[in-house]
Structure 1
Amino acid sequence: MPTATDFKDYYAILGVSKTATPEEIKRAYRKFARKYHPDLNPGDKDAEAKFKDLNEANEVLSEPEKRQKYDQFGQHWNQASQGGSPPPGRGSTVSTEDFEQYGDFDSFINDLLGGMRGRSQSRTHTHQTAPGGFDDFGDGFRSQAPAPDTEAAIALTFSEAFHGVQKRLLLGAVALNGNRQNGTAPQDDETINVRIPAGAKPGSRIRIKGKGRPSVFSQQRGDLYLTIEVLPHPFFRFEGDDLVCDIPLRPDEAVLGAEISVPAPDGSVTVKVPKGVRSGQSLRLRGKGWTLPKGGRGDLFAKLQIVTPKDLSPIEQEYYEKIQANTSFNPRAQLEEIKL
C-alpha cells in the first residue's frame, strides 16, 4: 500500500491548479514534455525522472475517470481503479454501511460517477515511439521539435526595393547574421537566388520554404524568413505607408503660385503650386508613389518648405523693402490676444 511519502502531487508536477481545465493540463504537459524530453537532455537522469513523472501525471489528469478518482482518493486512487476497498477517512462521504451494499469497489465508483467509466474508456491515450524518432503522446501531439525557421535581414537600396531585384545569398552568412542557434545552420556553402518583388517596404518579410536550419530530430529543413531593410535615400522617405519628399519654394512662388518640377521614383513630374500655400503643406501626386505589391502605384506626397534667400541682389533688396513698406498682411495678428 502506498505511503504518504509515495504520494505524487500531479497538479504540482504539471504546474497547474486543481481547477485547471483539460486544455490547461494539455498545454502544461506539452510545455514541460518538450523541456525534459530525454532526446533533448541526453544523460540527464533528473530530466528523465521529471519526464516520467510528467507522463504519469498527464495520464491520470487527462482522463476524466482517473482524475475523478485521484481528486477523491489521492494516493489511493489506483487502488480504487483496481477494485480495492477505499481507505478509511479519505475524501468519501459515504459511510461503511452505505458502501457494503455494493459487491465491489467498481460498482461503487460506477454508481458514484454515473457511468462515466463507460464513456471515458472509449478514449485512448498513447505514448509510443513512432517512425522518425519522435514520441506520440496522443491528441495529435508529438514531441518532435518542429523544423527550426531562420530569421535574417536583407538590406536593399530604394531603387532595388522599388523596382524589385534578384539577390544571391550565401545561406551560411545568412544564418550568422540571423538567429543561428545550437551551432546548426544551413549548409555553409549553399547559395540561393532570391527574387525580391517590386514594392518591398521596410519590415516586410519574404518566406523561402525549406531553406532554414535543419531539425535536430529529422534533419528536415525549416523556412527562411527575410526581413526587408531599405537603406536611407537622400530625397525620398517613408512616413507610414506613404512615400514623401520635401520640395523647397521661394517666397514669391508660395505667394503667387507657380509650376515646378518634382522628382518622382521613375522621373520628374510637373506640378502646379496654388497661390498662398504655406510651409509644411503637402501636395498629393496620385499614382506617382511606391510600387504596390498587387500592381499599380501609390501616391507621392510633396511637402512644401518655403525657403528665404540669404544673399539678395540690389534689385531684390529694393523690391523686398517696398513690399515690407506697403504690405497690410500681419501673420501675427491673432497672437495679440494670447494671454496666460
Structure 2
Amino acid sequence: MAFIDYYKILGIDKAASDKDVKNAYRKLARKYHPDLNPNDAEANKKFQEINEANEVLSDPEKRKKYDKYGENWQHGEAYEQQTRQQQNRQRSSGGSGGFEGFGGGFGGGEDFSDFFQSMFGGAGGGRRTGYRGQDLNAEFQLNLQDTLQTHKQTLTVNGKNIRITIPAGIENGQTIKIAGHGGAGVNGGPAGDLFIKFNIPADVRFKRDGANLYNTIDLDLYTAVLGGEIMAETPTGKVKVKVKPETQNGTKVKLKGKGMPVYKKENEFGDLYLTYNIKIPTNLTEKQKQLFEELSKS
C-alpha cells in the first residue's frame, strides 16, 4: 500500500499555514471541478483526491495525526495502544523495549502504510488485527430541477463507478452516507464509508426554505384594480392564478402543494408563496392621462 502524500496533492509543504491549505484547495478545486471538466474521469479522480487531502489538512487534529502516522492516521490511537502493550511485554521479559526490529521506528525509512502493514500482521509477522478503512468525502452539485424527483445517479469516486439514489427534496448542504464505499480496510478490516455532500446553488426564480418556495411576481395596475387571471411559474410549469379586485402592492398568496417535495415523504409537497409587485404604467398617452385625471376627480 503506497503512502498518500496529501501535501503533494495540494502542492504545498508541511510548513504550510492553514491559509495556505485553504488557498491551495480553492485553486485546485476550481481547476478540476466536474462542472468544468464534464466526462473527464482523470479530472474527476483528481478532484476527489483534492477533497480528501483538504478534509485532513484543513482540520488541525486530523492534520496532527496525519503528520505523525501518515496515511493510517485514523489508526494512530490503535498503534499507540499496540506500542504500549509491546513495550510492557518486552519489559516483563527483560527485553530492551521499543521497536528497533522495525527499522528504528518512523525514522527507519519505511513509508507509514508499509510500517502499519508489518505492525499489524503483514511481513513482520505477529497477530493480525483488522482496522476499518478511512471515510471519504465527496461533493456533488445539483440544480433545483434535479431535486424534484427521486432519481439514480452514477458517480465516479477514486476511479470506481458508484450508483446512488438521490431522494427528491434533498437540500443544499445535506450529506448522505454510502456505507462501505470509503477507503479499503487494513489487514482485512471493513472498508470506510463515503459521505456525499450536495451543493444546490440558489435558483434564479425561487427562494427556497425547506420544502416551501417564495417568488415575487409583477402585476399590472389594471389587473390589480379590476381583478383577473395571470400565469404564475412553478417548479413544474405555469399555472393560472386568480387575482382579486383591488389587490394591494405586496399582497401575498399561497399556492398549496406547488412547492418542493418533502424529503423522503412520498406525495407530500411544500407550498409556493407569491408576493405581488404592482407595476405603475409608464409612457401614458394623453388620452390615458385624461382618463386617470377623470378617475382621480370621481
The interval holding the TM-score normalised by the smaller chain is 0.5 to 0.7
**Aligned-partner Cα distance in 2 for 1:204–1:276:** 43
How far residue 217 of structure 1 moved from its aligned partner, in angstroms, is: 5.7
Give the letter aligned to residue 146 of structure 2.
E
**1:196 shift after superposition:** 1.4
Q: Structure 1's 257 and 33: CA in aligned 2 closer, same or farther, altered over 3 A?
A: closer
TM-score by length of 1: 0.47
> Would the aligned equivalents of 2:155 and 2:164 in 1 still touch at CA under 8 Å?
yes
Instruction: Give the aligned partner of residue 274 of structure 1.
Output: 244
Q: Which runs of 5+ in 1 are unaligned?
A: 1-31, 42-46, 57-127, 135-143, 173-187, 328-340
2:134 to 125, 138, 148: 148
Other structure's SS at 2:277 match? strand
Aligned to 1:242: 212
CA distance in 1, matches of 2:202, 2:256: 23
User: Aligned to 2:169, which of 188, 199, 218?
Assistant: 199
* Residues 115-264 of structure 1: pairs in structure 2 closer than 5 A: 132-133=128-129, 144=131, 146-172=132-158, 188=159, 190-216=160-186, 218=188, 220-264=190-234
The 3-state SS of whatever aligns with 1:163 is coil
Q: Who is 1:310 aligned against?
A: 282
Q: Which residue of 1 aligns with 2:16?
A: none
Q: Secondary structure at the match of 1:255?
A: helix
SS in 1 for 2:148: helix
- Alignment partners' CA distance in 1, 2:283 and 2:70: 79
Higher relative contact order, structure no. (Cα contacts within 8 Å, ≥ 6 residues apart)? 2
Distance 2:194 2:150 in 1: 19
Q: Deviation per CA, 1:53-94, whole angstroms, max 9, x where unpaired?
A: 9x98xxxxxxxxxxxxxxxxxxxxxxxxxxxxxxxxxxxxxx
Flag the 1:313–1:225 CA change in 2: closer, same or farther, 3 A: farther
- Contact 2:211–2:271 under 8 Å retained in 1: no
CA offset digits 1:111-136 (Å, max 9, x no partner): xxxxxxxxxxxxxxxxx9996426xx
Q: Which amino acid aligns with 1:285?
A: L
Name the CA distance, whole Å, in 2 between partners of 1:200 and 1:240: 9
Shift of the 36–132 alpha-carbon distance from structure 1 to 2, 3 Å rule, reads: farther
Amino acid corresponding to residue 148 of structure 2 in structure 1: F
Q: 1:294 aligns with which of 265, 272, 279?
A: 265
Letter in structure 1 aligned against 2:129:
G
CA distance in 2, matches of 1:165, 1:133: 40
CA–CA separation in structure 1 for the residues paired with 2:198 and 2:83: 41
Q: 1:39 to 1:260 in 2, by over 3 A?
A: closer
Match of 1:133, as an amino acid? T
Report what 2:104 is aligned to: none
**Percent identity of paired positions between Structure 1 and Structure 2:** 26
Which whole-Å CA distance do the structure 2 matches of 1:191 and 1:257 have between them? 55
Q: What count of residue pairs does the alignment treat as equivalent?
A: 192
Q: Deviations over 1:160-187 (max 9, x none)?
A: 1112333221112xxxxxxxxxxxxxxx
CA distance in 1, matches of 2:139, 2:80: 39
1:230-268, Cα deviation, whole Å (9 max, x unpaired): 244332231344212221111232233322221222232
TM-score normalised over the length of structure 2: 0.53
Q: 1:151 to 1:311 in 2, by over 3 A?
A: farther
How far apart are the structure 1 equivalents of 2:201 and 2:260?
15
**Contact preservation (8 Å) 1:163, 1:199:** yes
- Shift in Å, 1:282: 1.8
Q: Structure 1: how far apart are the matches of 2:210 and 2:185?
A: 38
Q: RMSD of aligned C-alpha atoms?
A: 3.9
